[in-house]
């Protein structure tokens, strides 16, 4: 019960520095994702500003769920978790986005850091941070986005054909790709530190999802849904076997 209470509290608790980092990455990512909406043949400031605000809000919702899922699982495993940025990351992202003329909206989003909570991990075998736990926490964020994708967004898009919903879906696909890259201070490196095989599956599944969601047909949806639900079952089984 203490772990569950700590997990829920952790999911929605941010330090002042985390909030600054998060606000910065929301603004940065809103600009990156809306880069090509500022006009291609001619610059349109009003359209660009509207799209910047829309994509910033989209990213805020998506990435809040991503980080909350990671913080929740970290708390449940007995860790304190904080969101951090590599100070060179956003600059690299903007540079590569400009170089690609916005075709590759490079989102360098940072990662989470774990610190053992000795009060909660008292009696645990090797109570300090396990690289394996860092890997599971890393996977929790992408799984949350996949569930959002298959349970809400894709069915909603099939029903409404809404361009706003499509923007949510496309944004998730970009986030999945870039958070899986094994770069300094990224989610991908946290997974790779534990297992190259797990990271390879994570990366190629993110890549598969990236292309499948763009086909926007029911068969692609079923494939993504089946694999995502299988991954959720694997994570649930790990937590149940280890902690319950």
Task: Let me know: does 71 contact 11? Beta carbons within 8 Å.
Answer: yes
What does pTM read for this prediction? 0.87
Dist CA 89 CA 112 (whole Å): 14
Predicted confidence band of residue 236 (pLDDT cuts 50, 70, 90):
low
Alpha helices in 44-110 (DSSP H): 45-76, 89-99
- Per-residue pLDDT, averaged over 33-48, amounts to 78
pLDDT class of 12 with cuts at 50, 70, 90 = confident
Q: In sequence order, which residues have a C-beta less than 8 Å from that of residue 232 and are 6 or more positions away?
A: 143, 147
Report the alpha-carbon distance of residue 37 to residue 170 in Å, rounded. Answer: 14
SS3 56: helix
Q: Write the pLDDT tens digit of every residue in 143-164.
A: 999 989 988 998 999 899 999 9
pLDDT score for 122:
59
Q: Distance between alpha carbon 235 and the CA centroid of its chain, in Å? A: 16
- Tell me which residue has tokens 């940072």: 110
CB 88 within 8 A of CB 28: no
Contact 183, 189 (CB under 8 A): yes
- The DSSP letter of residue 127 is -
Domain range summary for the chain, segments of one domain joined by +: 2-243
Closest of 206, 38, 175 to residue 105, by C-alpha: 175
Residue 39 has pLDDT above 90, yes or no: no
Question: Do 141 and 179 form a contact (C-beta atoms < 8 A)?
Answer: yes
**37: confidence class by pLDDT, cuts 50, 70, 90:** confident
Can you tell me the mean pLDDT for 24-35?
A: 94
Helical packing angle, 131-148 and 218-243, nearest 10°: 140
Predicted confidence (pLDDT) per residue in 196-223, tens digit: 888 888 898 888 888 888 877 777 778 8
- Lowest mean pLDDT of 121-130, 169-178, 217-226, name the range: 121-130
Q: What is the DSSP letter of 39?
A: -
Mean pLDDT of 139-144: 91
- Residue 19 pLDDT class (50, 70, 90 cuts): very high
Query: 114 has which bridge partners?
Result: 81
Residue 153 DSSP symbol: I
Q: If DSSP states are collapsed to H, E and C, what string results for 164-228?
A: HHHHHHHHHHHHHHHHCCCCCCCHHHHHHCCCHHHHHHHHHHHHHHHHHHHHCCHHHHHHHHHHH
pLDDT at 8: 85
Compute the mean pLDDT over every residue in the chain, rounded to the nearest whole number. Answer: 85
| Per-residue confidence (pLDDT) for residue 212, from 0 to 100 | 84
What mean pLDDT is predicted for residues 32-37?
89
Q: Specify the DSSP element, H or E, that contains 121.
A: helix 118-121
pLDDT band at residue 55 using 50, 70 and 90 as cut-offs: very high
């Amino acid at each position: 019960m203490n772990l569950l209470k700590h997990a829920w509290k952790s999911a929605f608790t941010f330090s002042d520095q985390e909030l600054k980092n998060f606000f910065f990455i929301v603004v940065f990512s809103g600009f990156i994702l809306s880069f090509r909406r500022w006009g291609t043949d001619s610059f349109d400031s009003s359209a660009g500003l509207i799209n910047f605000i829309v994509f910033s809000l989209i990213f805020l919702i998506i990435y809040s769920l991503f980080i909350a899922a990671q913080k929740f699982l970290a708390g449940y495993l007995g860790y304190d978790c904080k969101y951090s940025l590599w100070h060179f990351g956003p600059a690299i992202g903007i540079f590569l986005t400009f170089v690609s003329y916005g075709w590759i909206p490079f989102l360098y989003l940072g990662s989470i850091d774990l610190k053992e909570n000795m009060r909660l991990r008292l009696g645990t075998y090797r109570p300090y941070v396990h690289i394996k736990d860092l890997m599971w926490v890393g996977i929790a964020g992408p799984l949350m986005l996949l569930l959002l994708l298959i349970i809400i967004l894709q069915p909603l898009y099939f029903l409404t054909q809404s361009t706003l919903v499509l923007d949510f879906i496309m944004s998730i696909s970009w986030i999945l790709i870039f958070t899986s890259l094994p770069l300094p201070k990224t989610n991908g490196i946290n997974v790779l530190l534990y297992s190259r095989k797990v990271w390879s599956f994570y990366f190629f599944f993110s890549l598969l999802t990236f292309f499948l969601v763009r086909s926007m047909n029911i068969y692609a949806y079923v494939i993504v849904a089946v694999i995502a639900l299988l991954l959720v079952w694997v994570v649930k089984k790990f937590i149940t076997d280890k902690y319950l």
